Amino acid sequence: MKPLQASSGDLNADRRADFAEMLLASGQPAQAAELLLGALELAPRWAAGWFRLGEMQEAAGLLDQAAQAWAMALKLEPADRLGAALKLQLIGKAPAAEAPPSAFVETLFDHYADSFEDSLVKKLGYGLPDFLARALARARPGRFRLALDLGCGTGLMGERLRPFVDRLEGYDISAGMLRKAKAKDIYDRLTKADLQHFSHAGDRADLVVAADVFIYLGALDRIVGAIAGMLAEGGLFAFSLETLAGGGDFALLPSRRYAHSEAYARQLLAANGLAVLSLESMVIRYDRRDPVEGLAIVAGFPASGRNPANR
């Protein structure tokens, strides 16, 4: 995939854009947007510049103009690695979608791969891998023959799973994240995969984990069904959600992540023959010092039943 154009390619336009950023940082978003718009007159095909213009206009309360800027960014960069479509949805200028653009998720994590662990663990207080590992130990002590770590990232969850898993496979959309995970030498297999279209043709897994992953998927009907189909009898499925306040199944948040309701999770698990073994509320991480509330869930097929896919 061709990298995003961080520079406009025009020195004068870049200088104006830098000054616009200074104005924004000083609390003058309208003036910043006006200056960046002038820069874009010199570099009209700079998709990242149009996206940033939309953010400045949004900060200035100019939502109609922001929508036009994000629409231009989307026109110039249809794969939408910047996530302009999500911005349009959040201000009510585009219909709600059931999933984010895959290119946006891939680009986001490729960009943050080098600083991901330092930011998430040290700065944002991320403790989900340890929390899920403890929940799994309570649900089923002992070893697992095969575990699939979906959205494995740099291997934070995989590090907790490795001591009690015979074979560990990791799947992630980001090549940058997979390089970081490979360097840890904890996975038996690492594969680049888009979870929106994920399938598994190998042996059925005793454990499937999706830690802090579904926030980038939206609708979960397909992936939960696929996971139920790849679980062995007696297998476990452990995952997390950001908690949706209010009604509905799931919703896109200003963070451009998705929150899901407990009722939605329970409904999908039950529809696929899975029973909730544990469901605990927790603070997944902190965002600008505010706690991000979530759920850590472990599910499996009832002891008296069998995986419907194995019947």
Could you please report the per-residue DSSP string of 98-155? Answer: SS--HHHHHHHHHHHTTTHHIIIIIIT---HHHHHHHHHHHHS-S-EEEEEEET-TTS
Residues whose CB falls within 8 Å of the CB of residue 285, separated by 6 or more in sequence, listed in order: 120, 124, 125, 126, 128, 212, 292
> Taking residues 62-68, what's their average pLDDT?
98
What pLDDT does residue 311 have? 41
Q: Considering its fold, how many domains does the chain have in total?
A: 2
Residue 20 has pLDDT above 80, yes or no: yes
Token pair in block for residue 138: 């309570």
Residue 126 has pLDDT above 50, yes or no: yes
- Structural domain including 60 reads 11-95
182 and 277 in a single domain? The answer is yes
What pLDDT does residue 279 have? 97
Max mean pLDDT range (88-92, 138-142, 200-204): 88-92
Residue 146 has pLDDT above 50, yes or no: yes
> Taking residues 68-95, what's their average pLDDT?
96
Residue 247 has pLDDT above 90, yes or no: no
39 and 137 in a single domain? The answer is no
90 and 173 in a single domain? The answer is no
> Taking residues 243-251, what's their average pLDDT?
90
Say which CATH number the domain at 81 has. 1.25.40.10
Say which CATH number the domain at 294 has. 3.40.50.150
Reported pTM = 0.91
Residue 198 has pLDDT above 60, yes or no: yes
What pLDDT does residue 307 have? 55
74 and 221 in a single domain? The answer is no
Tell me the torsion sign for CA atoms 281, 181, 160, 196: positive
> Taking residues 134-150, what's their average pLDDT?
95
